[in-house]
Chains A and B, each alone.
Chain A
Amino acid sequence: MPRFAHLVEALHAAPGDKPFIAFWVDEDEQETVTFAEFRRCALAEAALLREVGLTAGDRLVVLMPQGIPAMTSFVAAMMVGAIPAFLAYPNFKVEPSKYRSGLAGVTANLSAKAVVIDEEFPEEMLACVSLGSETKLLRAPARANDSDASMPDRQHEFRHIQPDSLAFIQHSAGTTGLQKGVALTHAAVLRQIEYLAQVLKVSGDDRIYSWLPLYHDMGLIACFMLPMVCHIPLVMQSPIEWVMRPETMLQIISEYKCTLAWMPNFAFQFVPRRTPQSRWAEYDLSSVRLLINCSEPVRASSMVEFQRAFAVKSAVLQSSYAMAENVFAVTQSDIGQPSGPSRIWVDAQQFRSAHRIMPLEEGTPGALLFTSSGRLMPNQQVRILSDSGEVLGADFVGEIVVQSDCLFEGYYNRPDLTAQAIIDGWYHTGDLGFCLKGELYVVGRKKDLLIIGGENIYPQDIEEIVGSHPAIHDGRVIAMGVYNPDLGTEDIVVVAEVEHEKWLANAVELEREICSRVVAGLGVAVRRIFLKPPKWIVKSTAGKAARSATREKLLHEHPELNVEF
């Protein structure tokens, strides 16, 4: 991959007639652009942005539905040296009040010079976009044709873009509270892409598939910036369409012969479960070189479920540990390993009571299984820290801290949050993990950890046991700690959705059965299990069970639990 000074220069160097983006709406409607067409649209829009007074360093908010127009607006802002940010476009599934307050907070913090929306942006949401007296509201800017023929001569227009200037702001994922704006330079983004291209052996024959939202790092970096800089085509669809019809992902990959994709762990179960088994064999995923599991802890069982359904080779399913604050990936599993990411079985007692990793033979009864997120990418460093901040050895679990040449400049306009997150040059991720034989294993979030009578319990472990009961909807279980003032420690409370309403008739018996499974599996007792009807658990926009929002809902319905949180 050639070295570029900034992202616009990378787009500028792309072969004009090569396909860039195919946006799949449905079987009959697809919009496609070549690199030249995309450049033309972005250049025309950049001229328009200059006309409304946007200059270097100004922020531009892109509030458009997922698609090519949103992407051209984003690049047009970079062309004038401004700093774009994608924000989530409202959809029918969002809770309007929650969406409004999030939008108001994020736009106020960005104090944007211009906000780009589409013609159909709902008026009732617009009132929540924080518009200063100087802010311009641009409705679906015209995508007039600018001549690409003169492109080679136009590089002087971009000479003012400095490698160390901010390229864009991406917002850290979060289901509650104010999302933080992660500010990234052109140089940091380009370095990350160079490492990804090298480690994943990206070539001109690759084609990316994505349903991932552009306002998250996986969608923005892996599935927009990477293909733009590496000059490879991308086939994408809207996340909300994918949630409605996850099977379309299989259809698109088969049809377009895509080779690379990223997905969060839950999608590896969601796609096979929402696709009728009778149609599994209709899809041909043999073109896929790598399907990378990249989100919270990688679960071997989810990967196996996808693999069995669609007969993909073990080497295709890989894993990565990534975050917006590092542009994207910190680690990547070895793509040359035919069996996929490494796995390890460890002693459960040592893990919980001493935060210690003691490897056991594969399949030892009661052992915990972890899947590796892979090895460090070039120029990345990781340390595992104890609660008191000491660097821990290879066989201990602690907070993962990261140092690299891709790290963010800080949270935009929030020096207070930046100072909490970056300490002595190390970014404190809030994730818990351990390093073994040069590989990183991520086991959970620091703040989710339950401490029950001095034992460290990971809610994910309880959730996996509860979710494996046939009456419970897997993935729709939340375990949480509730302070018990009589005992001076936390008690475990579980809320779980039943697969079918009829199970609620036997709730007492079912609760007893699940409690005994948890005790048998983890040696800890659950104080209360709340069985709820289907669709009770609050989900994030990505479709995952939203931990804190579910906790709030449970407390609201059961005030007797509300002792202290």
Chain B
Amino acid sequence: MTAEAQQMIEHIVQLIRKPGGTIDENTPLVSSGLIDSMALVDLLLKLEDLTHKRIPAGKVQPKDMDTVAKMFATAERVGKPRK
């Protein structure tokens, strides 16, 4: 796992505040109800910071953000280098 993915996981753990729970790169987040869709704006902005990319929000669908691994794949697919 990359350091960025690890940072994202830590960010999500803070966000969901469920003690004892563990999440990894492939834990479903939205479809399992761990985070609600409204928290995704925050996660997308965090993803931009971690990847140094600008991600066109219009090209991102709910399924693209469901796991940490999918988030980074999405950033790779649709992100543009940030100036």
Q: Which residue numbers of A lie inside 8 Å of B, CB to CB? A: 25-28, 65-66, 89-96, 120, 122, 124, 238, 240-241, 243-244, 501, 533, 535, 538-539
Contact = CB atoms under 8 A, between A and B. Distances in A.
A240 B57 CA distance: 6
Nearest to A533: B17
A241 B56 contact: yes
Given A91-B60, A535-B42, 17 more contacts: A25-B56, A26-B54, A89-B58, A92-B44, A92-B65, A93-B38, A93-B41, A94-B37, A94-B62, A95-B36, A96-B31, A96-B62, A238-B58, A240-B58, A243-B57, A244-B41, A535-B39
A539 B63 contact: no
Nearest to A120: B59
B52 interface: no
Contacts of A240: 57-58
B63 A91 contact: no
A401 B51 CA distance: 53
Chain B at the A interface: SS class:
helix
Most buried by B among A91, A93, A241, A535: A93
B61 interface: yes
Contacts of B59: 120
Nearest to B60: A92
A92 B54 CA distance: 16
B73 interface: no
A92 B38 contact: no
A91 B58 contact: yes
Contacts of B41: 93, 243-244
B56 A501 contact: no
Nearest to A98: B37
Contact of A65 (B38, B58, B62, B83): B58
Contacts of A244: 41, 44-45, 57
B40 A93 contact: yes
B25 interface: no
Contact of A538 (B38, B45, B58): B38
B68 to A, nearest CB: 15
Nearest to A95: B37
B80 interface: yes
Interface in B1-46: 17, 31, 36-42, 44-45
Contacts of B62: 90, 92-94, 96
Contacts of A241: 56-58
Interface residues of B, number: 24
A539 B39 CA distance: 11
Most buried by B among A25, A91, A124, A243: A91
Nearest to A239: B58
Given A243-B41, A244-B45, A535-B38, A91 B61 contact: yes
Contacts of B63: 96, 122, 124
A535 B64 contact: no
A294 B63 CA distance: 34
Contact of A91 (B31, B45, B57, B83): B57
B57 A238 contact: yes
Nearest to B61: A122
Most buried by B among A27, A244, A501, A538: A244
A91 B80 CA distance: 19
A495 to B, nearest CB: 15
A45 B42 CA distance: 39
Nearest to A65: B58
Given A124-B63, A243-B41, A535-B42, A92 B56 contact: no
Most buried by A among B57, B59, B60: B57
A433 B58 CA distance: 37
A326 B83 CA distance: 45
Contacts of B83: 27
Most buried by A among B31, B41, B62, B65: B62
Contacts of A66: 58
Contacts of A124: 63
B57 to A, nearest CB: 5
Contacts of A96: 31, 62-63
Contact of B61 (A90, A538, A539): A90
Nearest to A240: B57
B57 A92 contact: yes
Contacts of A28: 80
Nearest to A538: B38
Contacts of B80: 26, 28
A93 B60 CA distance: 9
Contacts of B57: 91-92, 238, 240-241, 243-244
A533 B56 CA distance: 28
B36 A26 contact: no
A26 B63 CA distance: 24
